[in-house]
Amino acid sequence: MSVLHRKKILLAVTAGIAAYKAAFLVRGLIKKGAEVKVIMTPEAQNFITPLTLSTLSKHPVEWKFFGEDGDWNNHVESALWADFMIIAPCTANTLSNMADGTCDNLVLATYLSSKCPVYFAPAMDLDMYRHPTTLKNIDLLESYGNICIPAEEGELASGLVGEGRMAEPENIISFIESNIQSSLPLFKKNILISAGPTYENIDPVRFIGNYSSGKMGFEIAKAAANLGANVTLVSGPSQESISGYSINRIDVVSAANMYDAMHANFDNSDVVIMSAAVADYRPKEVATQKIKKENDDNMIIELIKNPDILKSLGEIKTNQLLVGFALETNNEEENAKKKLIKKNLDFIVLNSMQDKDAGFQKNTNKITIIDKDLSMQEFSAKSKSDVAKDILNVILNKL
């Protein structure tokens, strides 16, 4: 999923020949999952119509301070609505006015009212782009915190070939995505997460398992991806989805499968979160054929212990931050603290089956985080997506 998903983007179009590309830019942003509104300078209508952009964006397009009915088009409200503002094309005239603080049209008034990040994509002829005044204005705008999307080289409206051509819409989108990702707190961090149950086969049609849905682990994975992390999710059998997210999902079935996958990805990880509900035991022997019902009232299945994945990771960790989960039914704090110490964890997330808001297959959770110094931080009952954010905030503080 793009970092632009569900973002509110205000696109300002100014009066340059490259204004026709605004239609493609609107479409591209919407395909990334963004909501887009468009404003224009009055002269920009000479290059592309408001009807075209309103049809593509599904929002009215404004270009003057007062509408046909005399109502004021509130530029302050538009600026506050946006998560990001993009000025594309940004002509030499608009560039100069932005640098000077001139405020004689709706685009400039909205720019001066903006509190969100502002991206601008210059578009002008070669000599105009290279002029010292233009270069000075770009530097000045960047010193204010605005972000320049560099012009590209190519054929210009004048017939010249060189730098000054507005970046192509797909390149503008890629530039903004990369810029946002690089500013995210978990950018370039590798996070390894386990989720869901494990199934231990008895025969080809039966298994030993548990009621874990994987919801908590999947929410942590999605929240980590939203914070810019490179996420690997090792999941037991689960119906949960990560569709639309840039997450490397590895599906496993048994505890042995999960052990192998976690160890294979452990060395390259910065943070490891073991939220899976791993079966403690497995059948000593797995029947190759379906076990038939016999006349005996009882059937005995001999179980052997599965490898302790979390403990094995704690024994070999170097610089990784290692997080475990403890779902308890009694002596919750005592058992969680023992697990924290025994398995060499940096902190453990405790939830209780006695709590109506916690447990398997629920959309909510109520957790207590216990640190390696045994200090505790309690959280109120929340949706698992919000719990995931709480857990990651603790991780960010430790990183």
Query: Which positions are annotated as active-site residues?
Result: 210
H-assigned helices in 271-331? 309-316
Contact present, 207 and 199 (Cβ < 8 Å): yes
Which single residue is written with the structure tokens 């979160």?
273
Cα-Cα-Cα-Cα dihedral sign, residues 303, 309, 310, 313: positive
Phi/psi at 100 (5° precision): -85, -15
Contact present, 328 and 335 (Cβ < 8 Å): yes
Question: How far is 106 from 104, CA to CA, in rounded Å?
Answer: 7
Q: Which residues of 294-331 are buried (b: 16+ CB within 10 A; e: fewer)?
A: eeeeeeeeeeeebebbbeebbeebeebbbbbbbbbeee
Residue 322, amino acid: L
